[in-house]
Amino acid sequence: MTINSQNQQIEIYDRSKEVKEFDDSKIGVKGLVDSGITTIPRFFVHPPESFPSITTHPNPSDDHHRKEIPIIDLSFVHSHRRTIIIDEIKEASRNWGFFQILNHGVPTDVLDRTISSIKAFNEQSNEIKSKYYGREMGKGIAFSTNFDLFQSKAASWRDTLQMKTGPTPPHFDHIPEICRRELLEWDQQVQLLGETLMGLLSEGLGLEKDKLKEMSCLDSRLMVAHYYPYCPEPERTVGLKSHSDPGVLTVLLQDEIGGLQVKNGEDWIDVKPCSGALVINIGDLLQMISNDEYKSVEHQVVANPFREPRVSSGVFFNPSKREDSYGPLPELVSAEKPAIYKQFTLTDFMRQFFSKELEGKAIDYFKL
């Protein structure tokens, strides 16, 4: 507070100073909650007019929450049900950009261990966790509150451990011991599943099963482990802002708390936690490679109003050949369906994506 020349009290709010102080404290959002705060710091507040898409936590009586994203059973995917599954995935990727899968082959105990180990990491003392806090991915791993904290207009109520797992994982000793084996095991399982999914998605486009694999789409992987602590003012902020994923494909594991929403037309639809299921979504690169046959769709996570934290982990698949040219595949371009996007390198694409805050869709820049 300060006094101006008319003797009025005015508030001077130095946002960047507050953000920096918070970041320097390395305690994350969880640390704020543990300190007993009952209101959220101002830099987390999202002005309603600039974030019209924010909705409150699912209200089961609300009509919008009754629509559901497709749930696809992958049983017998390598035998007699393959063509049915390909059709279901194609439909879901075109109309929703999102689907859940069951009987995907990742053992339930791996899923459970992944969630518990992420919880365990986040629930260690600030002193231990702060050793990992930072935004530099030089060691292939970093823990922080919002990777775009310094670029965004408003912060989100979430802490995240990020780890580059492919082509090469971080040095074993650089991964926190409390979740090391669990996250590497989860990555290994996702790698296998990724190969099955890329095959199905390739065939859904009328291409050879190995087409996306040969384009190196399975080779580069980034894992995120999100922790959404209780938020004392969930209606004033978000857990994760609306965005579409930049890569080719995302495999996501969520716990039973809920809060992930997907855009469908003008509606935001809850991705209801489904025991044993994984959530799959198409990324911007695959939308462009497929010349809009598949869609990457905006999604968001509401701030967690529950005392119980929400935990999720996503693995993003990206091509590894950074200087190769990407864009609509010639097989998917014709006189009736001309190319919608230009060709670009992955380096161009990533530069464009990281030059802005995580918000909305980044692909318009590449439209012809």
Ligand X SMILES: O=C(O)CCC(=O)C(=O)O
* Residue 299 in the binding site for ligand X (CB under 6 A): yes
Binding piece for ligand X, criterion CB under 6 A, among 27-35, 67-75, 84-92, 252-260: 252-260
Q: Is the dihedral of CA 51, 53, 58, 59 positive or negative?
A: positive
Shortest Cβ 148–ligand X spacing (Å): 12
- Written as one string, the DSSP assignment of 119-177 is HHHHTS-HHHHHTTB-S--TTSEEEES-TTTTT-SS--S-EEEEEEEESSPPPGGGS-G
Contact status: 260 vs ligand X (CB under 6 A): yes
Instruction: Give the whole-angstrom CA distance, residue 238 versus residue 56.
Output: 9
Check residue 298 for interaction with Fe ion (CB under 5 A).
no
**CB closer to ligand X, 22 vs 228:** 228
Nearer to ligand X, 27 or 301 (CB): 301
Identify what 26 binds: ligand X, Fe ion, none; CB under 5 to 8 Å per kind: none
Give Cα 28 distance to the centre of its chain: 19
Query: Is position 159 an interface residue for ligand X (rule: CB under 6 A)?
Result: no
Phi-psi group of 360: left, alpha or beta (phi > 0 → left; psi -120 to 50 → alpha; rest → beta): left
Q: Tell me which of 104, 129, 211, 226 binds ligand X, using CB under 6 A.
A: 226
Among 245, 255, 284, 293, binds Fe ion (CB under 5 A): 245
**Residue 29 CB, nearest distance to Fe ion (Å)?**
18
DSSP 184-195: HHHHHHHHHHHH
Asked if 245 touches ligand X (CB under 6 A), the answer is yes
Residue 240 interacts with ligand X (CB under 6 A): yes or no: yes
Does 224 participate in binding ligand X (rule CB under 6 A)? Answer: yes
For residue 101 the two structure tokens come to 């899968």
Helical residues (DSSP H) of 14-125, grouped into ranges:
15-25, 28-34, 82-95, 108-122
Q: Which is nearer to Fe ion, 159 or 203 (CB)?
A: 159
* Residue 221 is a binding residue for ligand X (CB under 6 A): no
Tokens of 360: 């909305």
* 300-339 positions binding ligand X, by CB under 6 A: 301, 312, 314
Residues forming the site for ligand X (CB under 6 A)? 224, 226, 240, 245, 252, 254, 260, 299, 301, 312, 314
